[in-house]
Amino acid sequence: MNYNRRNFLKTIGAGTLSLSFASIFSACEKKVSKPNIIFIMADDMGYGDAGCYNPQSKISTPNIDHIASKGIRFTNAHSPGAWCVPARYGLLTGRFPFRTDLKRMKTTSLIEPGRMTLGSLLQRNGYKTACIGKWHQGFENLRNQDYSKPIQSGPVERGFDYFYGIHASLDIPPYYYIENDRCVEAPTDDVEASSSEDVTQIQGAFWRAGKIAPNFKHDEVLPTFTEKAVTYLEDQKKSNTPFFLYFSLAGPHTPWLPTGKFKDSSKAGEYGDFMTQIDDSVGKIVEILKNTGQADNTLLFFTSDNGPVWFEEDIQRYNHKSSHFLKGMKVDTWEGGHRVPFLVSWSGKIPQNSVSHENICFTDMMATFATLVGDKLPENAGEDSFNILPVLLGEKYEKPLRGAIVIENKAIIQGDWKLIFDSGRGGLSRWLSKQPIEKSEQKGELYNLKDDPSENNNLYGERSDLVQSLTALFEKYKKDGRSAPLSR
């Protein structure tokens, strides 16, 4: 019997305990033992944008820095993909994205029906679940919708009780809001493409031409998502049920659209200004938790799905290193593409101002949340997920904490070593940078990230033993269908 149960029994008098009281007690115990969880995911934010990671950042991020000061900051947290879709699949399912077929998204949801998600895991453990923001895991027949009918295979069919958001990135039409499985207002109008001067075609106020709902304004999306999230959190104050909010921002991905007081609020151009506005949204979440008395019982995460769209030309122009000391950017298999800021706070549980250098991955949230709520994952769920709760809580744990991390089907990281199967340079910088592309004589890239975190010294030709063993490990993961041990 724990302290809370003893106190409860003392209060009501043990002799009066009946079945109905037992069930009341059960509800009370749930409230006490299961914290609320908020997972804030920025979109295309760099490792070096927040001041808590990069003191030389040209962007002020007091609210993100505040989470770091109240909790733990990871220096080696990885997205399992360097762009939106695989990153979010890995987070939501606990599986490396190479295990699914990304082509599914052309016609349906990337997440297969019946597959456990963070949402459905928490639902079965008594949580209310909500996804507010960008989904980007596909819907059924999105391009061929009858907007008077339900939009199928979205978040409400993948473990979330409530959804308010957009189908994909904010530069991809059609542009309209979806609430649960219904279109809020159909995209009956047309909008021309948008762009900014002096930046590449995938930066600035960029969006593609297409259909748009009459009520949809691109620059209102961030404030709208923030307002919806704040309202959701206000509503939870009245509830005794723990909640999970996946707050999936659509910025600082393009279009970069800072509004009002956020214009010229940074020294890193429109990108930096928009990032300041993102930070302000994070502050509003923290504030409403405090104002509603929910802050102490809420586990709060902040991260970004992948690296920034920030070229060498931008670094020179603003003297701001969005990827900090990491090489590359979004879509690259270098660290700038997939090593992300990752902060977690939980009052009284996670030591303040702590820092961890452990390799962790988005896929680990599945096993971590399961452990947190006292559940055991089925064998066919979270195959690449490892419980990181001991790290969060500052407890002792056995090393290594997890198996290797696989980035799409392009790289594998184990301990200090990283093998890139081809070239670390991904599509964006290959297509758009004005900088010359260096030609590698090697078939792949191998780095010791501890000695060489900026990936300058390719040891592929010198350490064929490691190239072979890391290649074999990836093949084993593919063959076994999992990287996690069966019992977690």
The residues that touch Ca ion, with contacts defined as CB under 5 A, are: 43-44, 84, 305-306
Residue 144 CB burial class (10 angstroms; 0-12, 13-18, ≥19): exposed
Q: What is the DSSP string of 201-218?
A: TTSSS-B--EEE-TT--G
- Nearest approach in angstroms of CB 472 to Ca ion is 31
CB-based burial, 402-441: b 16+ in 10 Å, e otherwise? bbbbbbbbbbbbbeebbbbbebbbbebbeebeeeeeeeee
Nearer Cβ to Ca ion (43/332): 43
Looking at the Cβ atoms of 133 and 453, the one nearer to Ca ion is: 133
Q: Which is nearer to Ca ion, 306 or 423 (CB)?
A: 306
Q: Which is nearer to Ca ion, 63 or 306 (CB)?
A: 306
Q: Tally Cβ neighbours within 10 Å of residue 347.
A: 16
How near is the Cβ of 87 to Ca ion at its closest, in Å?
6
| Nearest-approach distance from CB 154 to Ca ion, in angstroms | 19
Q: Of 32 and 102, which has the nearer Cβ to Ca ion? A: 102
Q: Which is nearer to Ca ion, 253 or 402 (by Cβ)?
A: 253
SS3 58: coil
* CB of 406 vs Ca ion, minimal distance in Å: 18
Least distance to Ca ion, CB of residue 53, Å: 18
Query: What are the phi and psi torsion angles at 287 (to 5°)?
Result: -65, -45
Count the alpha carbons within 13 Å of 203 in the hemisphere toward its beta carbon.
22
Q: In angstroms, what is the minimal distance from the CB of 306 to Ca ion? A: 5
Shortest reach from residue 487's CB to Ca ion, in Å:
34
Judged by beta carbon, residue 153 or residue 306, the one nearer Ca ion is 306
Report the residue closest to Ca ion, judged by CB. 84
Nearest to Ca ion of 98, 417 (CB atom): 98
Alpha-helical runs (H) found in 292-363? 312-318, 335-338
In the block, which residue shows the tokens 């890239």?
445
Q: Specify the amino acid at residue 124.
A: R
DSSP-assigned letter for residue 126:
T
Answer positive or negative: Cα dihedral of 426, 431, 432, 435: positive
What is d(CA 132, CA 439) in angstroms, rounded to the nearest whole number? 43
Angle subtended at Cα 290 by Cα 286 and Cα 294, rounded to the nearest 5 degrees: 100
Q: How far is the CB of 42 from Ca ion (least distance, A)?
A: 8
DSSP annotation of 407 reads E
